Amino acid sequence: MTAELNLTADPVELTAALVDIPSVSGDEKLIADAVEHALREQAPHLEVIRNGEAVLARTNLGRGSRVVLAGHLDTVPVNDNLPSHRSGSGDDELLHGCGTTDMKGGDAVMLGIAAGLTDPRHDLTFLFYDCEEVEAERNGLNRIERELPEWLDGDLAVVLEPSNAAIEAGCQGTLRVEVRTEGARAHTARAWMGENAIHAAQPILKRLVDYTPRQPTIDGLHFHEGLQAVRIAGGVAGNVVPDSCVVTVNHRFAPDRSLAEAEAHVREVFDGFEVTLTDGSQGALPGLTAPAAAELVAASGQAPVAKLGWTDVARFAARGLPAVNFGPGSPTLAHTQQEHVPVSQIRHCAQALRRFLSQEG
């Protein structure tokens, strides 16, 4: 049976209703069914289609510009944090539960605008997609880009990931490499006959400890890079000198560098060692000089900040769209058992986006 969603309800009530539909990555059918049904029944002015467990909707009003709003429907696994509940009151009221911050508060804001704003200044596209919280190749936006690429086109993309209800512009790029050392096996009773590959990794760790990350300012926003060991693997047995060791390193880089430039930098840091790139994603420049982005900043009522992390704004930036993050909740609470969102932030994002999308030019 399809869950019923009231898209004209208070966005906080709508957030709670979405949270109470479990939608762990790979199991989004129930929530996608509910969203699709609600949009078809309550937003007849929209073109609505289904793509796998993603629901896409848009206006076709012939406006001179289009804004794309995007949010994922999936969450990390539930951790004894459903159903939703509230605490506090007034300005301190909180909504608790899995997905409240990441990112069903943002989804609720999108749904309210989709149903309620029938005469927007810009044409609007709404993307509710699946499998964002798992490996990148499963991300529903990949499938949409392959099968329905025109649905990702526009003049500005707003990803409603948690940003404390402030504009987080652009995003950092990310890459991972494996830095390898080789040695020679021997019995530990005769260790001098071998060469310990784990010991040989000491210079790698020293370079990481001594590393000073860049902190560039781009379009007036302060980014802070990072280079961190995130895994170390080596060893054969409790009485064997290991002949191999691999240090996995994650580099978060500012969007003024391309992925190729960031990789070259990391290889320079670990010059003399075998370095293998295992994955990487380009960042996104802030793009705040675009007229629509500047208007959104003004409507938000807050100064923008740099996004210190990677989000799907990079996918839109790669297609030539300026893209920002703007959603309720703190990203530091995402994926935690204590996940919650301030009620005031849900309402602020809903009001700011409605003001931006409906204002006269």
User: Tens digits of per-residue pLDDT, 44-69?
Assistant: 999 999 999 999 999 999 999 999 99
Residue 132 token pair: 């964002």
CATH architecture observed for domain 173-281: 2-Layer Sandwich (3.30)
Find tokens 């300005």 and name the residue.
91
pLDDT at 360 over 60: no
Out of 105-109, 136-140, 227-231, 334-338, least confident range = 136-140
How far apart CA 128 and CA 206 sit, in angstroms, is 44
Q: Which residues participate in catalysis according to the annotation?
A: 74, 132
Cα–Cα distances in Å, from 310 out to 283, 284, 306?
A: 7, 9, 11
Q: Name the pLDDT band for 91 (thresholds 50, 70, 90).
A: confident
Span 271-296, mean pLDDT?
92
Look at residue 121 in the predicted model and tell me its pLDDT: 94
The average pLDDT across 85-93 equals 94
The domain locations on the chain are: 11-170+284-358, 173-281
pLDDT of residue 361: 44
- Report the percentage of the chain scoring pLDDT > 70: 99
Residue 234, both tokens: 């080596």
Q: What is the DSSP letter of 131?
A: -
**For residue 2, what pLDDT band results from cuts at 50, 70 and 90?**
confident
Closest to 296 (Cα-Cα) out of 287, 285, 309 = 287
Q: To which residue do tokens 């526009």 refer? A: 154
Higher pLDDT, 114 or 134: 114
125 conformational bin, left if phi > 0, alpha if psi -120 to 50, beta if neither: beta
Enumerate residues 6+ apart whose C-beta is below 8 A from 208. Answer: 227, 228, 229, 249
Say if CB 117 and CB 95 are below 8 A apart.
no
The span from the CA of 40 to the CA of 135, in Å, is 31
Residue 222 in this model has a pLDDT that exceeds 60: yes
pLDDT higher than 80, residue 354: yes
Q: What is the pLDDT of residue 359?
A: 64
Residue 282 tokens read as 């380009």
Average pLDDT for residues 131-146, to the nearest whole number? 92
Please determine, looking at this structure, whether the domain spanning 11-170+284-358 carries the CATH number 3.40.630.10.
Answer: yes
pLDDT band of residue 343 (cuts 50, 70, 90) is very high
CA 204 vs CA 196, 226, 249, 270: distances in Å:
14, 15, 10, 7
Amino acid identity, residue 252? R
Token code pair at residue 329: 């909740």
Q: What is the chain's length?
A: 361
192 has pLDDT over 50: yes
Question: How is the beta sheet containing 85-87 ordered, strand by strand?
Answer: 85-87, 94-96, 340-342
Q: Is the pLDDT of residue 168 over 60?
A: yes
